[in-house]
Structure 1
Amino acid sequence: MANITAGMVKELREKTGAGMMDCKNALNEVEGDIEAAIDWLRKKGLAKAAKKAGRVAAEGLIGLAVSGTSGVVVEVNSETDFVARNDQFQALVRDIAKVALGAADDVEAVKAASYPAGGTVAEAVNNAVATIGEHMNLRRSKRLEVSAGVIGTYVHGSVGEGLGKIGVLVALESTGKTDELAALGRQIAMHVAAASPQALDAAGIDADVIARERAVLADKAKASGKPDNVVEKIVESGLKTYFKEVTLLEQPFVHDASKTVAQAVKESEGKVGAPIKLVAFARFALGEGVEKAESDFAAEVAAAAGV
């Protein structure tokens, strides 16, 4: 039998909202596998879908840059939040975003690209580490572009132009009025920041994720004694609901929940004066999926004071 620790129970409880004993039982049933325990709880009707984003633990800044019909979002991490307020660090993130606009859509390519002050981006980060005195890392980068249209942007928790805690890009393809497109792009980018969709549409959801969701829905329906033909209908209905929750085009628009994002885009074509296609989005939340050890701050202060 797997050794189930209090930390494992706590993690599962945070991810599912299930009771402590239910989490412990689930972990015992699946030999300590967190993801399998999430599914076990869901099959028993004791938990909602697993949260996809990890707790925000890393510090630093998200940076955005746009030029013409291209836009980029980058994440540069640091050890403490104090660094995010440092002018030198903020300038570094802004410059990295500008460099990423002209680099290949790959973080390693951005690191190898030439930095404005000389050397490469990777070397500039290392130089900042030496100057500021904290470990830093260019963690990821994503560039979007359209042949005609706009790249809508939104920064949440802004600490300066193009810098903040959450950064969103939205690519709108259209030959219509740029100002109207830009306004729509910002609204959709704000929606993405708030609703955190996993993909543009159902086709963008990983097949393994859909298979897992299907299995959970089927097991729950079978457990309630439904016949096979009814189970399949329940599963298909459940998947439709799931897609409405996690795909951008099907989500209720946060600015008007009476319509979906897709409907809002379609209705905007009159103002824009041309067809609009929402082709892609990118959402970076600072520290997303990165864990760091929790610490007892009071104990650290006491230790430093020799208490």
Structure 2
Amino acid sequence: MQRLAGLGRAGLFPPEGSVPVAQLLGCQLARFLHTGLAVLAAKELLVKLRKKTGYSFVNCKKALEKFDGNLKEAEGWLHDQAQKEGWSKVSKLEGRKTKEGLIGLLKEGNSAVMVEVNCETDFVARNAKFQHLVQQVAVGTMQHYQETVEQLSTYAKCFLETRELSQLRLGPDGSLLSDQLALTIGKLGENMIMKRAAWVSVPENFFIGSYVHGAPPTGNPLLSNMMFGKYGALVICSPPEPYQKSNFVELGWRLGQHVVGMAPLSVGSPEDEPRGDSETKMLAQPFLLDPAITLGQYIQPSGVSVLDFVRFECGEVTETAEAE
């Protein structure tokens, strides 16, 4: 007993009237679990913010610490910082040549959009962040015309250049495409230009053929509704009655393929002879996949009339660029 009392005086057992050992250990365990759960929760927040924004772990951690784990405020702060950094890089990189890039093609119902966005290197053109920017330009263009154009009795074809594209707003938050451009420049560190966009819309009894060539590797599910490449074409067609859209999907693809490969300057007419200046007229050109016949002869059995087309080639010099 004396020995046990000595142990108590030595502090190995709690003195009489103090907190029991089991309770003391329970408190320590609770504190340990609480700390562990807090660390786990903080880590989950960090991963969530990183995945949602795409910014570095270092910056995401800094943002969460700055706002005591408030995810919404941290995300807003990261966006503001990235925007400032992006615009800073825009001014530094301005003037650097942008010969690479992508053509992006988006179809939605009876409308289609084709855009060209340029960057400095093909390496960046293959980056998912750059491709997402191309998608944003296409979606912004589509939304702009859906809100401004009424129901059509015939087809419509409109074009937008760099300055007009930069002022388009995107999505529910109404952010400018120019801001999205700055963010992407800030992330990838290359000069970029939203060069041009074409929007085409047709009534129910028409169809739009489309084709993109030289597409980069796919695999990003967020971009599954887009087609990307170095060349693209939209072909406006009037089919015979009665009209089943599914019957003309392949024909539309072949027509777009011909426009990309043969680069006509005008549609022409089926009566044009395949010689002289008619070589630039689409219907008089030798059909890309069977040069023994003209394109006009190829489509004649289908009863389809080609009314118009748009062709984009990434990096080509346009009339607007020449004027500038």
Q: Is the TM-score greater than 0.5? A: yes
Corresponding letter in the other structure for 2:234: L
The offset of 1:185, in angstroms, is 0.7
Equivalent residue, structure 1, for 2:111: 70
Compute the TM-score of the two structures, normalised by the length of structure 1. 0.58
Corresponding letter in the other structure for 1:152: G
Distance 2:101 2:255 in 1: 25
- 1:265 is aligned to 2:320: no
- 1:113 is aligned to 2:178: no
Say whether the 8 Å CA contact 1:94–1:163 is kept in structure 2: no
Q: Secondary structure at the match of 1:151?
A: strand
Equivalent residue, structure 1, for 2:195: 139
- 1:281 is aligned to 2:309: yes
Equivalent residue, structure 1, for 2:209: 152
Corresponding letter in the other structure for 2:313: A
Q: Secondary structure at the match of 1:74?
A: strand
- 1:198 is aligned to 2:253: no
In the TM superposition, what are the counterparts of 1:207-246 in structure 2 within 5 Å? 241-246=275-280
Q: 1:124 to 1:259 in 2, by over 3 A?
A: same
Q: Secondary structure at the match of 2:182?
A: helix
The offset of 1:240, in angstroms, is 7.0
The offset of 1:77, in angstroms, is 0.3
- 1:58 is aligned to 2:123: no
Distance 1:181 1:103 in 2: 28
Same amino acid, percent of matched pairs: 32
Distance 2:114 2:183 in 1: 22
Say whether the 8 Å CA contact 1:99–1:113 is kept in structure 2: yes
Distance 2:188 2:253 in 1: 34
Corresponding letter in the other structure for 1:122: S
Distance 2:290 2:246 in 1: 21
Equivalent residue, structure 2, for 1:188: 255
Q: Secondary structure at the match of 2:194?
A: strand
Q: Paired residue for 2:138, among 94, 97, 115?
A: 97
Distance 2:300 2:291 in 1: 15
Corresponding letter in the other structure for 1:84: A
Distance 1:249 1:122 in 2: 39
Q: Secondary structure at the match of 2:315?
A: coil
Q: 1:249 to 1:102 in 2, by over 3 A?
A: farther
Equivalent residue, structure 2, for 1:253: 287
Compute the TM-score of the two structures, normalised by the length of structure 2. 0.55
Q: 1:125 to 1:242 in 2, by over 3 A?
A: farther
Distance 1:76 1:247 in 2: 28
Distance 1:250 1:122 in 2: 42
Say whether the 8 Å CA contact 2:165–2:196 is kept in structure 1: no
Q: Paired residue for 1:167, among 228, 232, 240?
A: 232
Count of matched residue positions in the alignment of Structure 1 and Structure 2: 194
Corresponding letter in the other structure for 2:166: K
Q: Secondary structure at the match of 2:169?
A: coil
Say whether the 8 Å CA contact 2:274–2:284 is kept in structure 1: no
Corresponding letter in the other structure for 2:208: I
Distance 2:274 2:289 in 1: 22
Report the aligned-residue RMSD: 2.4
Equivalent residue, structure 2, for 1:130: 186
The offset of 1:135, in angstroms, is 0.8
Distance 2:264 2:277 in 1: 10
The offset of 1:124, in angstroms, is 1.0
Q: Secondary structure at the match of 2:195?
A: strand
Q: Secondary structure at the match of 1:102?
A: helix
Q: Which has the higher contact order (CA 8 A, sep 6+)?
A: 1
Distance 1:252 1:154 in 2: 18
Corresponding letter in the other structure for 2:257: M
Q: Secondary structure at the match of 1:76?
A: strand
Say whether the 8 Å CA contact 2:231–2:313 is kept in structure 1: yes
Equivalent residue, structure 1, for 2:120: 79
Q: Secondary structure at the match of 2:317?
A: coil
Larger Rg: 2
